[in-house]
Structure 1
Amino acid sequence: MTSYTPEGMVDAIRQSPPIDLSIPYDAAWVKGKTILITGGASGFGAGFVRHWAKNGAVVIVGDINTEKGDVLVREVKQQTGNNNVHFVHCDVTDWQSQVNLFKEAASLSPHGGIDTVVANAGIAGNDPTQQPTGLDAAEPPRPAFKILDVNLAGVMYTTHLAYYWLVKNPGSERCSMDSKPGERVRDRHLLLLGSIASLAPIAIQPQYNAAKHAVLGLFRSLRATSHYQGIRINLLCPYFIDTPIVTAPARIVLAGGAMGKVEDVVDAATRFVADSRILGRALVVGPKVTVKQLDTGEWSLVSKGTPGGTETALWEPCADDWEEVDAFDRNIIKILNSVQAARGWIGWAADLVKAVGHGLGYRR
């Protein structure tokens, strides 16, 4: 029987090796690609638009803020001379609105297809989950879950539509870590925007935290099977980045620390979009620091210029998680696989018969 251990799945998912950030990429590799970005009218989404348009990409911006979107597109066209930059109004929480965005993007694409989809739209704000109002009422009022709607439901809609349109991209080839990004223009790529909140708890932001944890789960699930559709999927997890989405209370909490820079988020995203050899990888973007790796494998903060030190704002959080998972995960998976092995083919056959009976309505 096949043992579905993390180790046994490494070859099956066809994931590229951990990212070597010392290997350069060329932003010009995005030239000719048609890129759809949700929530691209402001923040680092707008940074993506400016940088990719400058390097010759066709960019379609979907955003709920029509005024900002129109202004951005006009500015980018004027600054870059690239007229293949377009704005389409889109409410990511509305299914039909996203359907219309994707249809419009394909019609605006010079080749009639979409090469990369960036699920960037997201919001933050006051979360009512831990701050219920009307405590003197007979029952609590219905909470507003707008943060969850945008950051999770909107991303699920985007992902569903991406998997429909990417495989229809004319002239595209199945993803491959052996591809030549300088020559490969037609692509099938989905870039998800997670957060440091995908990996760690963020106090007083349970909706945002839950949504970004879910995006991480979506990424880890899809990257195990996406190669069957020839789609490569990657994940970006920014720390607190100096953009309008970081609220005043959050800035007070972060006082004395450091926030990441938009240009580093743009750099990480461009590496993913431009380099078609990267499959199933994630990058955390934090403040730029100088670190040195210890003999234990851990990183230590050091002064700039320290021998052996490396300056970076990028970290790979899921570098070897299919091979080296958390101790608890490894132990529980080994136990479950031991149970499977002990039951053998007889146990498998018995369960199969039960499953068929369950499907036919014979239940105990």
Structure 2
Amino acid sequence: MAASQLTGMSSYIKQSPPLDFGIPYVDSWVKDRTIIVTGGASGFGAGFARRWATNGATVILGDVDVEKGDALARALRNETGRESAAHFVHCDVTDWQSQVNLFKEAIRLSPHGGIDTVVANAGIQAKDRLQEPGDLSAASPSPPNLATVDVNVTGVLYTTHLACYWLPRNPGSKPCNMNSVPGKQTRDRHLLLLGSVASLAPIAAAPLYATSKHAVLGLFRSLRATSHLQGIRVNIILPYFIDTTIVPVIAKVALAGGGMGKVEDVVEAGTRLVADTRILGRGIVVGPKMNVKQDDSGEWHLVSKNEQGSTKTALWEVHADDFEEVEVFTRRVVKLLYAVELARGWVGWATDMLTLVRNQIFGQR
């Protein structure tokens, strides 16, 4: 495909070029931003909050765990010496009104009256019994526990819906632009989604969790092609198994002897995406740190840390070339469908409309 075509598609769908992790960014770019983090009381959310509040942001922690969330917000205010550093707001992401209240409270608490970044971080992995139905012969058998889907899908969709309303209304913000100057553009419009390696691969023992995280990836890939219409940049982090309480003991047993990722690397990925306003429509997989080297075919190999040309990393970009493949493919198919419509002309349109009216009147399908 010609370079001009790729450039045109990249510009059309407003995605920035594939990430270069060698390009530096500065934590202080988050200074003075107001950031909502759902599930912010522990795990990744707490890691994000601590790093961003330490660097001058106002972080609004939304969580069902009142004790942990309130304690973290108090600690961050004490550590930074800023009353605006962090605030806790009780929020059940599966409850629509609870999320509405979180966003409105964030606006009230924001020093500038707006929201710069929304991090849809809240997620759980409840016990997965989808493939263990038990006895369902009763007249009214109990349904499966879909709490994982409720939190990881419905909750994320609620967060996204509210972000799409409030982010464009952030006072002083401008539509996202891959040519922005991060250190000088304080106000932002950014939605950061949290997927998982389960967004990319099947998790045989946890079909509900894998389904929920596949849904988050689908949401990301859809949003990033159209969110520029509201000036919102959308990015996603997809962690591998990270050493947190969400990973069940049985999974840790299965992973024993291998590598697990660290929360600090997830926070590193999130901070790059939040701080650097030039990054639009990108996804970062976070795994265990390793020393790797790429061969001429593009394949990565695990090597010793002293190997010449090797790189130590825990971060990898995924779906980097979608605009060259998926979106271009989609554009070609749409072009063909449009050609069919042109070929059929007004006669085809009239025929379809008459068929539709007839079916509505006579109840046909």
* Structures share fold, TM-score greater than 0.5: yes
1:35 corresponds to: 35
Amino acid at match of 1:347: R
* Partner residue in 1 for 2:112: 111
Tell me the matched-pair count: 356
Equivalence map 1:220-299=2 (5 Å): 220-299=221-300
| 8 A Cα contact 2:240 2:287, kept in partner | yes
**1:311 counterpart residue number:** 312
Secondary structure at the counterpart of residue 180 of structure 1: coil
Give the CA deviation at 1:132: 1.4
Contact 1:53 1:82 in 2 (8 A): no
Moved more, 334-343 or 174-183: 334-343
SS in 1 for 2:324: coil
Which residue of structure 1 lines up, in the alignment, with residue 87 of structure 2?
Answer: 86
CA offset at residue 171 of structure 1? 0.7
- Specify whether residues 362 and 32 from structure 1 end up closer, same or farther in structure 2 by C-alpha distance, changes over 3 A only: same
Deviations along 1:248-300, one digit per CA (max 9) or x if unpaired, are 11111111111100111001000010000000000000000011111111111
Return the offset for 1:82: 2.7
Residue 348 to residue 10, structure 1, CA distance change in 2 (3 Å): farther
Q: Is the 8 A contact 1:7 1:322 kept in 2?
A: no
Q: Distance in 1 between matches of 2:28 and 2:332?
A: 49
Rounded Cα–Cα distance in structure 2 between residues aligned with 1:210 and 1:104: 32
Deviates more, 1:233-242 or 1:351-360: 351-360
Structure 2 residue 46 is the aligned partner of structure 1 residue 49: no
Give the whole-Å Cα distance in 2 for the aligned partners of 1:357 and 1:192: 45
Matched, 1:66 2:66: yes
Greater alpha carbon shift after TM alignment, 153-162 vs 202-211? 202-211
After TM superposition, give the deviation of residue 338 of structure 1 in Å.
Answer: 8.0
Pair 1:348–1:157, CA change in 2 (3 A): farther
> What residue number does 1:75 align with?
75
Aligned partner of 1:340 among 307, 319, 337: 337
Change (3 A) 1:137 1:284: same
Q: Distance in 2 between matches of 1:159 and 1:355?
A: 36
Structure 2: unaligned runs, 5 residues or longer: none
Q: What is the match of residue 216 of structure 1?
A: 217
Paired amino acid for 2:234: I
How much has 1:155 moved relative to structure 2?
A: 0.1
> Does the 8 A contact of 2:107 with 2:113 survive in 1?
yes
How high is the TM-score relative to the length of structure 2?
0.91
Mean CA deviation greater in 345-354 or 103-112 = 345-354
Shift of 1:7: 8.9
Does the CA-based 8 Å contact 1:44-1:266 persist in structure 2? yes
- Identity over aligned pairs, percent: 60
3-state DSSP of counterpart to 2:83: coil
Match of 1:302 in 2: 303
Residue range with higher mean Cα deviation, 96-105 or 314-323: 314-323
Cα separation, 2, equivalents of 1:48 and 1:358? 56
